[in-house]
């Protein structure tokens, strides 16, 4: 029996490791542009990769049959993967192309594995593990902000450069009485605060799912205690998201809160409404009375700040690539090298478009973007008809949040932690169909 469940244990470990950057870097010299280390030119092997590959292999060994709930879109997946490998024939950096093609295969394997989940309890345990991981990351990020440096968790991939280092994510606290004070934004063990914000928002969605799971009046003492425990975790998550100072993360958090208030109002779950509102009041009070200057400083930053201008520049560069390579793009894994050939920029400004749709069209062509959107539509469509149920609503909201984030950032498709989170959400959507049968 244990060997049949071994892959499930490995999968839970994989989920917990999603935000962890424990990894091996190969050929580091290829990842540098002058003095700057460019993440998108690096070859990493993550601990999360190894654990998932072991999980998938273990599952293949014990699995007697494969129940693909996405047979109706298997052809689209096959076409998409084929397109990725076809683009390898015209890439200028085959090593980067092969590496990213393998990463895409891993993401598809995540979907294959999760599409065979048939147990609601397994899904709930999986969501709970992600929630625990998210609360720990939020606590780590909050601590980093207050101590203004990393906490020495190098083994988990935590790295925060000293204040003043180019590329370090910081925020200036403005005050009429004092000169601006520079603060480090919360990183957790992520490569950037925005990526941490995305993972924490997904964790927040999960926490609201558990808070909303039992209707008022039907919960035992154990469930009541669990809901209060989850509510405390929710408070930590909201504060963690605040200290990332990710404005799209803040926007997503607001939409998530409104979404669950509306859902529980529709189902008249008074206990859930009270807990969500109570945590919101407490977290809002902590932020308003303790960190109002930071909230105002970040919230009133001019749209002409360098970060906004750079995002627009990155997206314009992506559009130029689309114009030059409209059908098949520049090829998988070759976005940054193509930008280097077309534009002369400071080393740290060679970045993907901060929009996953522009990025996808530039790297895999309009054909690749079209196939990807069709696949997303076919994954989401069956669950959409069940949106009045709690679990489908939760997963649809999570998918919508990441698709919204994709309009303003690239990490759902380019950063290890971001794309594993995004494709795990898609995997849960595929698994949801099994619960219906």
CA 247/CA 289 separation, integer angstroms: 20
Among 272, 300, 328, give the residue marking a domain's end. Answer: 300
Residues 146 and 32 in one domain: no
Whether residue 160 sits in one domain with residue 97: no
**Cβ distance 123 to 391 under 8 Å?**
yes
pLDDT digits (tens, 9 = 90+) for 360-381: 999 999 999 999 999 999 999 9
d(CA 262, CA 390): 12
Do 184 and 317 belong together in one domain? no
pLDDT of 36: 87
CA distances to 31, 98, 142, 231 from 135, in Å: 32, 35, 11, 11
Mean pLDDT of 133-161: 91
Is 379 part of any domain?
Answer: yes
Q: Does 2 score more than 80 pLDDT?
A: no
For residue 45, the SS3 value is: strand
pLDDT given at position 59? 93
Provide the 8-state DSSP code for 377.
H
98, 182: one domain: no
- Same domain, yes or no: 70 and 102: yes
Name the least confident of 143-157, 275-289, 326-340.
143-157
Domain final position from 267, 300, 333: 300
Q: Report the first-to-last Cα separation within the chain, whole angstroms.
A: 25
Count of C-beta atoms within a 10 Å radius of residue 378: 14
Flag whether 345 is in a domain: yes
The predicted structure's pLDDT at residue 65: 62
Same domain, 360 and 416: yes
Structure confidence by residue, pLDDT tens digits, 304-346: 566 778 889 999 999 999 999 999 999 999 999 999 999 999 8
Of 5-14, 65-74, 323-332, give the lowest mean pLDDT range.
65-74
Distance CA 299, CA 41 (A): 33
The model's pLDDT over 181-209, given as tens digits with 9 standing for 90+, comes to: 888 999 999 999 999 999 999 999 999 99
- On whether both 141 and 84 belong to a single domain, the answer is no
Residue 371 has what pLDDT?
A: 96
Q: Which pLDDT belongs to residue 246?
A: 94
Model confidence at 297: pLDDT above 70: yes
pLDDT of residue 348: 86
pLDDT, residue 181, reads 82
Instruction: Give dist(CA 134, CA 23) in Å, integer.
Output: 20
Residue 295 lies in a domain: yes
Among 300, 332, 360, give the residue marking a domain's end.
300
- Residues pairing with 170 in the sheet: 184
Which residue did the predictor score with more confidence, 220 or 138?
Answer: 138
Same domain, 22 and 68: yes
Q: Residue 216 pLDDT more than 60?
A: no
Average pLDDT, integer, range 48-53: 98
Residue 18: CB atoms within 10 A of its CB come to 23
Residues 6+ apart with CB under 8 A from 351: 40, 310, 314, 336, 339, 410
- The tally of domains found in the chain comes to 2
Residues 17 and 63 in one domain: yes
Pairwise pLDDT comparison (196 vs 296), residue with the higher score = 196
Q: Which residue has the higher pLDDT, 75 or 206?
A: 206
Work out the pLDDT band at 296, boundaries 50, 70, 90: confident
Read off the pLDDT of each residue in 101-126 and give the average, rounded to a whole number.
94
232 and 214 in one domain?
Answer: yes
Q: What confidence score (pLDDT) does residue 351 get?
A: 94
- One domain, residues 315 and 291: no
Average confidence (pLDDT) over 69-80: 79
Residue 434 structure tokens: 């099994």
Q: Which domain holds residue 226?
A: 127-300
């Amino acid at each position: 029996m244990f060997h049949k469940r071994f892959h499930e244990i490995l999968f839970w470990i994989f989920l917990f490791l999603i935000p962890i950057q424990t990894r091996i870097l190969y050929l580091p010299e290829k990842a540098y542009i002058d003095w700057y280390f460019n993440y998108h030119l690096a070859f990493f092997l993550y601990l999360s990769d190894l654990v998932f590959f072991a999980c998938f292999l273990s599952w293949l060994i014990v699995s007697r049959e494969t129940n693909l709930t996405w047979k109706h879109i298997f052809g689209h997946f096959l076409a998409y993967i084929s397109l990725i490998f076809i683009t390898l024939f015209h890439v200028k950096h085959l090593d980067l192309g092969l590496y990213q093609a393998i990463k895409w295969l891993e993401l598809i394997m995540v979907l294959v594995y999760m599409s065979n989940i048939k147990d609601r309890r397994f899904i709930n345990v999986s969501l709970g593990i992600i929630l625990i991981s998210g609360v720990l990351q939020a606590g780590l990020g909050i601590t980093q902000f207050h101590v203004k440096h990393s906490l020495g968790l190098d083994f988990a991939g935590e790295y925060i450069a000293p204040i003043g280092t180019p590329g370090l994510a910081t925020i200036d606290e403005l005050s009429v009485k004092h000169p601006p004070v520079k603060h480090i934004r919360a990183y957790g063990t992520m490569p950037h605060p925005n990526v941490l914000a995305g993972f924490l928002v997904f964790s927040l969605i999960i926490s609201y799912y558990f808070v909303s799971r039992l209707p008022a009046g039907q919960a035992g003492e154990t469930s009541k205690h669990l809901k209060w425990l989850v509510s405390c975790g929710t408070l930590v998550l909201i504060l963690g998201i605040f200290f990332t100072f990710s404005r799209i993360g803040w926007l997503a958090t607001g939409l998530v809160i409104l979404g669950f208030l509306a859902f529980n109002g529709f189902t008249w779950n008074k206990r859930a409404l009270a807990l969500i509102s109570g945590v919101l009041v407490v977290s809002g009070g902590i932020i308003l009375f303790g960190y109002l200057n930071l909230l105002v400083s970040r919230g009133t930053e001019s749209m002409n700040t360098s970060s906004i201008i750079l995002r627009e520049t990155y997206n314009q560069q992506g559009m130029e690539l689309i114009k030059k390579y409209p059908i098949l793009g520049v090829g998988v894994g070759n976005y940054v090298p193509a930008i280097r050939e077309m534009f002369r920029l400071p080393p740290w400004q060679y970045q993907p478009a901060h929009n996953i749709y522009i990025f996808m069209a530039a790297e895999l062509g309009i054909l690749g973007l079209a196939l990807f959107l069709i696949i997303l539509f076919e994954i989401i469509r069956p669950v959409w008809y069940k949106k009045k149920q709690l679990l489908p609503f939760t997963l649809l909201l999570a998918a919508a949040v990441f698709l919204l984030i994709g309009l303003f950032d690239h990490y759902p498709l380019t950063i290890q932690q971001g794309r594993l989170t995004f494709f795990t959400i898609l995997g849960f959507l595929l698994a949801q169909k099994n619960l219906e049968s």
